[in-house]
């Protein structure tokens, strides 16, 4: 991993020529790259990817905040409630994607069709859910410690063929 000094590296090797223009556009392109990336993190939002902000975990929960974990449950014809785990290999969609669409799902619960169809397609031997619901496990913090947990339902959709 140690990179030797440039002179040592190039001793006894053939150095490929480069034109003034070849160097100029490369330097300009690298400066533009740095500029776009800086601009992305200072001014833009996530939709500007790949030149958007590096906003992973860039927010600030307080000591009395509520930590939420989003889940989707299905109700089978016999009334049994099963969790439809939100991963690509189990439901065709990631939990983070569902979380990013919570307001839209609350407005239109039929968007949960993506989860129910994704789950059923990956579990052909299992009965299809007749109803699916979007819920959140909530863990309430007080002074930085979990003091209570509960669950709320955000949306419910009767599965239609």
159 binds another protein (CB under 8 A): no
Q: How far is the CB of 19 from another protein (least distance, A)?
A: 5
Helix, strand, or coil (residue 30): helix
160 binds another protein (CB under 8 A): no
Name beta bridge partners: 131: 75, 158
133 near 156, Cβ under 8 Å?
Answer: yes
Residue nearer to another protein on the CB measure, 3 or 79: 3
From first CA to last CA, the distance across the chain in angstroms is: 57
How many chain residues touch another protein (CB under 8 A)?
75
Residue nearer to another protein on the CB measure, 53 or 123: 53
Residue nearer to another protein on the CB measure, 113 or 156: 113
9 near 17, Cβ under 8 Å?
Answer: no
Helix (H) or strand (E) holding 132: strand 131-142
Residue selected from 35, 49, 107, 151 as contacting another protein according to rule CB under 8 A? 49
Neighbours of 155 (CB within 10 A): 19
Q: Give the footprint of another protein on residues 74-133 (CB under 8 A).
A: 88, 92-94, 96-101, 104, 111, 113-114, 117-118
Q: Give the footprint of another protein on residues 133-152 (CB under 8 A).
A: 139, 141, 144-146
């Amino acid at each position: 991993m140690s990179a030797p000094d440039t002179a040592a590296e190039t001793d006894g090797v053939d150095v490929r020529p480069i034109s003034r223009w070849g160097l100029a556009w490369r330097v300009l392109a690298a400066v533009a790259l740095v500029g776009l990336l800086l601009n992305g993190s200072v001014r833009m939002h996530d939709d500007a990817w790949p030149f958007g902000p590096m906003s992973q975990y860039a927010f600030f929960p307080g000591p009395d905040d509520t930590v939420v974990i989003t889940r989707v449950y299905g109700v089978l014809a016999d009334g049994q409630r099963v969790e439809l785990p939100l991963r690509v290999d189990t439901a065709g969609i990631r939990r983070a994607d569902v979380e990013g669409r919570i307001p839209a799902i609350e407005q239109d619960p039929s968007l949960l069709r993506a989860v129910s169809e994704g789950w059923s397609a990956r579990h052909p031997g299992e009965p299809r859910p007749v109803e699916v619901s979007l819920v959140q496990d909530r863990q309430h913090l007080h002074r930085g410690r979990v003091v209570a947990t509960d669950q709320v339902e955000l949306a419910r959709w009767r599965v239609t063929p």
